[in-house]
């Protein structure tokens, strides 16, 4: 069982707006529509209790490198969100 827990990545969507993500870092994402053309995404990142200052700094830098706007894992997500917002504002002929 431990191997299954440690060696897997998981994403769970609690419809309609909460995502539990256990991958490179454990995080909760909350998506909150503010209007037809604007959405707020808040991310809560979790860390182990008793983590050393050095480990914490390293984990945060790795998180930022991957999940920040300019990170390796976020730019395609942001484009998807942008395209959705554009479509939501569209009109039907």
What is the band of 93 on the pLDDT scale with cuts at 50, 70, 90? low
Cβ within 8 Å of residue 63, ≥6 positions away: 24, 25, 45
Domain ranges of the chain: 2-88
pLDDT at 59: 86
Report phi then psi at 10, rounded to 5: -135, 145
Range 8-14 average pLDDT = 87
CA dist 71 and 51 (Å) reads: 24
Query: Which structure tokens are listed for 57?
Result: 């700094």
Query: Which structure tokens are listed for 62?
Result: 């790795």
More confident: 24 or 12: 12
pLDDT at residue 70 greater than cutoff 80: no
**Bridge partners for 12 per DSSP:** 20
pLDDT tens digit string along 27-69?
Answer: 899 999 898 778 888 989 888 889 999 999 998 888 888 877 7
Residue that is written with structure tokens 């993500």 in the block: 21
Model confidence, pTM: 0.67
């Amino acid at each position: 069982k431990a191997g299954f827990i440690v060696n897997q990545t998981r994403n769970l969507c609690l419809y309609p707006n909460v995502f539990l993500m256990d991958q490179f870092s454990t995080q909760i994402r909350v998506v909150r529509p503010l209007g037809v053309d604007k959405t707020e995404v808040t991310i809560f990142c979790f860390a182990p209790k008793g983590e050393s200052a050095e480990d914490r700094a390293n984990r945060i830098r790795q998180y930022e490198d991957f999940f920040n706007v300019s990170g390796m894992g976020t730019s395609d997500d942001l484009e998807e969100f942008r395209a959705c917002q554009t479509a939501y504002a569209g009109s039907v002929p």
